[in-house]
Amino acid sequence: MQTLSSRERERRATSGGGSRSAPVPLLVPAIVGMLFLVVPLLGLVFRAPWGQAWTILHGSAAGEALRLSLWTSTTATAISLVVGVPLAWVLARTHFPGLRLVRALVTLPLVLPPVVGGVALLLAFGRSGFVGQYLDQWFGITLPFTPAAVVIAETFVAMPFLIVTVEGALRSADQGFEEAAATLGAGRMTVFRRVTVPLVAPSLVAGAVLCWARALGEFGATITFAGSYPGRTQTMPIAVYYALETDPDAAILLSLVLLLVSVVVLVALRDRWLRGAV
């Protein structure tokens, strides 16, 4: 026999269903999991040298690193949209021999250690790499250890997040709308532009956000392929890593700046786009 408060009675009567409190075997691990995710972030906030925040940030390369991180990750996301969305469409809507292999290869960077990705990029686009040597000989272009290399490394690691999200959305989208558009006289590109893309827009935005966040946090592939030249290829995560060795207070503040950027993006997009999509 239990007692129900009048408020609980009203809730059960209006929203239906039984008790909404979680059983203990689920509740305890749930709380442990939540603390595990939240406590380290709280640690950042509590340990931050708020008093000297301005001087430390001002004196460090934080501004440069943040600017570099923002524009490279945004560029990486833009590139991912331009080539990743058509690739997702091809994977979702066409059939050709080797499709499964292509899908596996395309999503490989999701599970590949980023350092390995960086090594692979060096071998391909490095000065003596099998693509890089021709870029160097024919065009005089050297990619490694440049801001362009940062963008390439971030795109390599982050684009699969966009592809996987959009491909899933395309697969589950109702193709009846595309048929309807065809009977209304729309060619395949018009159908793609005016029906397919708008219908998967929420997933497209969610995928782009995931992609951007992943690019912003990229470390392993970037440091391997682009190095760590302050002001040129030293992105925020790399700056945090080096600051931790020399100036832990600066590292904490830089981390907080990254955390703040991530939270702002998440909150700004959450209500509008991410509901139901992620």
Contact positions vs another protein (CB under 8 A): 176-177, 179-187, 190, 194-195, 198-199, 201
Rounded Cα distance between 155 and 132, Å, is 17
The residue assigned the tokens 């990619």 is 143
Output the smallest distance, CB 95 to another protein, in A.
17
197, 82 Cβ separation under 8 angstroms = no
Q: Which is nearer to another protein, 171 or 188 (CB)?
A: 188
Q: How far is the CB of 199 from another protein (least distance, A)?
A: 6
C-alpha 118/C-alpha 223 separation (Å) is 8
Q: What tokens does 123 get? A: 């071998």
| C-beta closer to another protein: residue 94 or 137 | 94
Token pair in block for residue 62: 């934080």
Query: What minimum distance in Å lies between the beta carbon of 178 and another protein?
Result: 9
Residue whose CB is less far from another protein, 141 or 199: 199
Q: How far is the CB of 92 from another protein (least distance, A)?
A: 19
Report the residue number, 152 or 169, with the smaller CB distance to another protein: 169
Q: How far is the CB of 278 from another protein (least distance, A)?
A: 20
Indicate the DSSP class of residue 51: G
Closest CA to 200 of 219, 220, 178, 230: 178
Please identify, using beta-carbon distances, which residue of 137 and 183 lies nearer to another protein. 183
CB atoms within 10 A of CB 104: 9
What sign results for the dihedral spanned by CA atoms 107, 110, 111, 113? positive
